[in-house]
Structure 1
Amino acid sequence: MWPMTQVVHVVLVEWAEGRDGAAEEAEGLVDQHLRGIPGVLSVDRGPSVSTEGLESGFDWALVIRFESADAVAAYLPHPDHVVVGRYLGDNSARVVVFDVAS
């Protein structure tokens, strides 16, 4: 486990074929379920706005800043996270999760 430091949780999603509108629905779920979870400091989500074109097929990102590694550990089984995670898993072709201590 990381030392007592903030953690940035990055989720990259490639939507499954034929899942038009999945990003908008995901954004609504994120806004409804994730912002109020204890230990969440900030939530950003949406499509890439990069001009580099290096997304490697990923369509959408979710970035959450947590106050600590303990907050991440409590978030993972939290029922509101499970709702969003299930939606992302059910509607994506590929998901990558990457956590960085900051």
Structure 2
Amino acid sequence: MILHCVFVRFKAALQHADKQAIYDAIAALKNVIPGILDLKYGPNVSPEGLNGGFLDGFVVTFENPEVRDAYLVHPEHLVVGERIVASADGGLSGLMVFDLAV
């Protein structure tokens, strides 16, 4: 399995409803890309203060690396990805992506 972890510094002006709409769009990908096993999202709740300014994030669990790779180039993912980048403070610099093989 692959845990696809994405951490976001959303623009300060982004409303909660807009964040939720992005997360809903990500969750909807599960219905069009076979092999997505799970999705979790939300704000950082760690008390450690080591988040580097990344206050929100999501984790997509993929069956295997091939499913993750299909997700990355899927046209609907690309649309959602553009929306995330546009909503992130600094565009791509407002994102951190980290994949784990588990």
Q: TM-score, normalised by structure 1?
A: 0.84
Matches within 5 A, 1:70-85: 70-85=66-81
Q: Does 1:14 align with 2:9?
A: yes
Within the candidate set 43, 52, 65, 2:48 is matched to 52
Where has structure 1 moved over 4 Å in runs of 4 or more?
A: none
Q: Partner residue of 1:89?
A: 85
Structure 1: gaps (5+ residues):
1-5
Q: Deviations over 1:33-90 (max 9, x none)?
A: 2222211111001111222222111121110111111111111111221122111101
Q: How much has 1:17 moved relative to structure 2?
A: 3.5
**Alignment coverage as a number of residue pairs:** 96
Q: Does 1:101 align with 2:97?
A: no
Q: Distance in 2 between matches of 1:80 and 1:43?
A: 16
Instruction: Quote the sequence identity (%).
Output: 34
Q: TM-score, normalised by structure 2?
A: 0.84
Structure ranking higher in strand proportion: 1
Structure 2: gaps (5+ residues):
none
With 21-30 and 49-58 compared, the bigger mean Cα shift is at 21-30
Q: Distance in 2 between matches of 1:70 and 1:24?
A: 28
Structure ranking higher in helix proportion: 2
